């Protein structure tokens, strides 16, 4: 074959086709937000490819330009760079491969443990499940905190807000819940019970200091809870786009568990910083600002996020614990009132109680669970049903008792009992109590076993009772756990065991 024939053969094999690309150029760049000229076919929430590995999301579709938020490294970008649309929605990796890992807002590992072998991806923004596909909340999520499990119960599929001033222990309550679930998972999975459903946790840190996130991860690792947890980190040092997208990425990871007949718990820490990040993006995009300079759709931002938590009929559940920070205890501010109206109740932490040493500093009067006792096991209902009323009454009487010294016998009795309940509910951080041990200590309170004690001795005595049951009456605790209700026979066993413990105390 001559050279000419070879060239002709090569030309014959050549196929030519045109490719259409929708491209544009960066006109302005500031604080993780880019204004782009020329993206005529861009769609809302579409992924936009920037030079390098940076990804953008089209948020503002103007007549002449498109406003994009940029995720990932933005240091290398400059005005005049070419960008193009992808025709895809932003997706993050999901699945059990993420458990035990720390990832960024895009699901990329940031813990130095190598790549994540995730088989599936879910879009970051998904429409929440409809009413028909939902199921009523009736299975408990045990926090391991006696005050919450007995008075403000949380159920699988519920959204319970944790709200309070800075430094009142909001994150501690959320992390204690994760630690308690890990403890329950270990016992349940080791038992080989086919009906046992573990709860996997997702902790989303938005706008937190890196040192705080590292401390939280260290706490989870030390307790062996990290293997059941995914940590999504969008620290304060990250750009605002990452902080804005992180809770939605965490929700997508949680939805995978829910869709695949498993149960998950997601913690958003915290949504006040999330709203601030969204406000910053909106102001740079020149969207009109409303109350407190927040954009008009800040309510929709949080409602579409929290509505994704549900218990699905025939599938699993996703329970959400959003955290919101108040200023000087003002729960009537814009973001707190928004989220209170979206969630199914709130746990309000009071600064005064915290400073008095009542920890967790749960305010009984302002805290509520709209799911109520349907998310409790019957045994907790039996021993703790009257506690919330007694405690609320105690707080009211204590306020009046400051002004008058002459108190009748009945009032003195109520004050004495209330102060004992307050003392019993004090609990150190990182030490969740199993539900069956909570039932035993509350039963002893209800039946007057702490009445003769000095108030300062109640915490140590309750601990001694729990240890007695854990070491010598394990069969009774197992029976409480499996029956989940107290019948006459079981109550007689608890009474006999508590009497036996009381003799050891006197000795």
Would you say 304 is a known binding-site residue?
no
DSSP string, 152-193: S-EETT-B-EEEESTTSSHHHHHHHHHHHHHHHHHHHHHHT-
**Could you give phi then psi for residue 150, rounded to 5 degrees?**
-90, -30
Would you say 171 is a known binding-site residue?
yes
Cα separation of 109 and 115, whole Å?
7
Cα separation of 164 and 323, whole Å?
8
Question: What are 332's strand-pairing partners?
Answer: none
Encoded tokens for 140: 């408990």
What is the end-to-end Cα distance of the chain in Å, rounded? 109
Would you say 165 is a known binding-site residue?
yes
Question: What are 164's strand-pairing partners?
Answer: 325, 349
* Residue 370 annotated as catalytic: yes
Contact status, residue 206 vs residue 269, Cβ threshold 8 Å? yes
Count how many residues are written for the chain. Answer: 507
Tell me whether strands 82-89 and 46-49 are parallel, antiparallel or unpaired.
Answer: antiparallel
Would you say 114 is a known binding-site residue?
no
Contact status, residue 432 vs residue 183, Cβ threshold 8 Å? yes
Q: Which one, of 164, 139, 167, lies nearest residue 154 by Cα?
A: 139
The two most distant CA atoms of the chain are separated, in Å, by 120
Would you say 164 is a known binding-site residue?
yes
**Could you give phi then psi for residue 182, rounded to 5 degrees?**
-65, -40
Helix axes 210-222 and 170-191, enclosed angle (nearest 10)? 30
Beta-carbon count within 10 A of 209 CB: 12
Which of 84, 304, 359, 370 is labelled catalytic? 370
Would you say 357 is a known binding-site residue?
no
Residue list, annotated binding site for ATP = 164-171
Annotated binding site: 164-171
The residues annotated as belonging to the active site are: 370
């Amino acid at each position: 074959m001559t050279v000419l024939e070879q060239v002709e053969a090569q030309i014959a094999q050549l196929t030519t086709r045109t490719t259409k690309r929708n491209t544009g150029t960066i006109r302005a760049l500031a604080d993780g937000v880019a204004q782009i000229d020329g993206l005529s076919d861009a769609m809302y929430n579409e992924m936009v490819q920037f030079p390098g590995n940076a990804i953008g999301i089209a948020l503002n579709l103007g007549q002449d330009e498109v406003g994009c938020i940029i995720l990932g490294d933005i240091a290398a970008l400059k005005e005049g760079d070419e960008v193009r649309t992808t025709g895809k929605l932003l997706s993050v990796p999901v699945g059990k491969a993420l458990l035990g890992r720390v990832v960024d807002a895009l699901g990329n590992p940031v813990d130095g443990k190598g790549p994540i072998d995730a088989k599936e991806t879910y879009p970051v923004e998904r429409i929440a499940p409809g009413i028909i596909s939902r199921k009523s909340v009736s299975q408990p999520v045990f926090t391991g905190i006696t005050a919450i499990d007995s008075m403000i119960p949380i159920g699988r599929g519920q959204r319970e807000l944790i709200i309070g001033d800075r430094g009142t222990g909001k994150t501690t309550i959320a992390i204690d819940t994760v630690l308690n679930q890990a403890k329950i998972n270990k016992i349940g999975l080791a038992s080989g019970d086919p009906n046992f459903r573990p709860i996997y946790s997702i902790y989303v840190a938005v706008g937190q200091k890196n040192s705080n996130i590292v401390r939280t991860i260290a706490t989870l690792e030390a307790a062996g809870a990290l293997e059941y947890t995914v940590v999504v980190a969008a620290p304060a040092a990250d750009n605002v786009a990452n902080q804005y997208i992180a809770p939605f990425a965490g929700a997508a990871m949680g939805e995978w568990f829910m869709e695949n007949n498993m149960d998950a718990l997601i913690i958003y820490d915290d949504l006040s910083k999330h709203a601030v990040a969204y406000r910053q993006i909106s102001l740079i995009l020149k969207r009109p600002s409303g109350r407190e300079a927040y954009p008009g759709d800040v309510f929709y931002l949080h409602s579409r996020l929290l509505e994704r938590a549900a218990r699905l009929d025939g599938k699993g559940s996703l329970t959400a614990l959003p955290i919101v920070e108040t200023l000087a205890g003002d729960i009537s501010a814009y973001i707190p009132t928004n989220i209170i109206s979206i969630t199914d109740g709130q746990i309000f932490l009071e600064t005064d109680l915290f400073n008095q040493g009542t920890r967790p500093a749960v305010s009984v009067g302002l805290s509520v669970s709209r799911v109520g006792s349907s998310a409790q096991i019957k045994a907790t209902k039996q021993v703790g049903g009257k506690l919330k009323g007694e405690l609320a009454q105690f707080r009211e009487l204590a306020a009046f008792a400051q002004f008058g010294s002459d108190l009748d016998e009945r009032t003195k009795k109520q004050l004495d009992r209330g102060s004992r309940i307050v003392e019993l509910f004090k609990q150190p951080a990182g030490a969740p109590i199993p539900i069956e041990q909570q039932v035993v200590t509350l039963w002893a309170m209800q039946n007057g076993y702490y009445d003769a004690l000095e108030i300062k001795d109640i915490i140590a005595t309750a601990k001694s009772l729990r240890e007695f049951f854990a070491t010598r009456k394990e069969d009774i605790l197992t029976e409480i756990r499996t029956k989940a209700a107290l019948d006459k026979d079981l109550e007689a066993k608890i009474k006999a065991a508590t009497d036996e413990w009381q003799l050891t105390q006197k000795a």
